[in-house]
A and B are shown apart, each in its own frame.
Chain A
Amino acid sequence: MRDNPKLSLFTRVDTGLARFACGLLEGLKHLGLWLLGLIAIADYFALIFEYGEGLADMALHEWAFMLLALALTWRHCHYARHFDYGFWRGLGRWLTAQGILLAVGMIVWANLEFTGSAKALDSLSLANKEEEILSLAFALLALYLGAPTQPRIAEQPKPVTENAHQVPSTSPTPDKAVSP
């Protein structure tokens, strides 16, 4: 596109600027999601080790969460290696999944606060436990859905040339023409 002689200087500068802005926003989006992912991971640790008393802070369901999270992380690494994602892209995808979860959670929470439904939920005596279990369950779901399931760069189908000659079969039976 840049080498196209028909484009004027103004158009080339304009498209270049637009491409630069899009790239910058794309980078900021990834950076924001990674940061949100890191905050989410820190939140989970704060939720589990709330009093800073080590293993005494861990209930049975939190042990289960940790084990499942480890298993799902191993699955993520296994698939990332299998589909040639590399370390940083695999880690980025892992963090992005948690970041998206936190972003969606924040949007839902802000909506509830804005519409005043959060107070209604509080009055229903929803204890912290239910919220905690829900958060941990969604974290596991994000870990499950965030794992790569197909190659990062899809394999391009080989172009079929029109004048490609047919290779005769090597089977002992001769090739037959299909009669109409």
Chain B
Amino acid sequence: MKTLTPLLTLTLLSLPIQLSLASTDPARLIESCTELVNIYDKHDQLRFAAAQTTSLSEAMRAGYCRGVLDEYQRNYQCKTRDWREQANTIAKGAHEQPGAQDVDHLLATACGY
């Protein structure tokens, strides 16, 4: 039991660290939002034949972007509530100004700050 205690303590301590180290890779957010834009024409309208032209990987990435945007909107008051428009801002902005961008900057820009 004595040997298990430090191990258990370390495991418990590492849990919140793991949670706070969620993916903050801007490239991942950008490609995910690009996929989201490719799937939806508007926030409530799928692109023509989206179900036939979207793979599992693309759908997972689009879902990641949607989740990040929803969570950001939950914590911050954005100028627009339309996640499709925000995703488009991230995808286009990254395309026009590649590099030197972090996730917070991308999300703030998409939010209208």
Contacts and interface: CB of A to CB of B under 8 A. Distances in A.
B14 to A, nearest CB: 28
Contacts of B54: 59
Interface string A42-85: 00000000110100111111100000000000000000000000
Contacts of B58: 59
A58 B52 CA distance: 10
A128 B52 contact: no
Contacts, number: 34
Interface string B28-63: 000000100110000000010101111111100100
Interface of A: 50-51, 53, 56-62, 127-129, 132-133
A61 B38 contact: no
A77 to B, nearest CB: 29
A57 B55 contact: yes
A127 B57 contact: no
A56 B38 contact: no
5 contacts: A59-B55, A60-B51, A60-B52, A61-B49, A129-B38
Contact of B57 (A53, A129, A132): A53
B57 A56 contact: yes
A110 B49 CA distance: 30
Contacts of A51: 57, 61
B47 A61 contact: no
Nearest to A62: B55
Nearest to B61: A51
Contact of A129 (B51, B53, B56, B61): B53
A61 B53 CA distance: 6
Given A51-B57, A56-B57, A129 B52 contact: no
A128 B57 contact: no
Of B38, B54, B55, B57, most buried by chain A (CB within 10 Å of CB) is B55
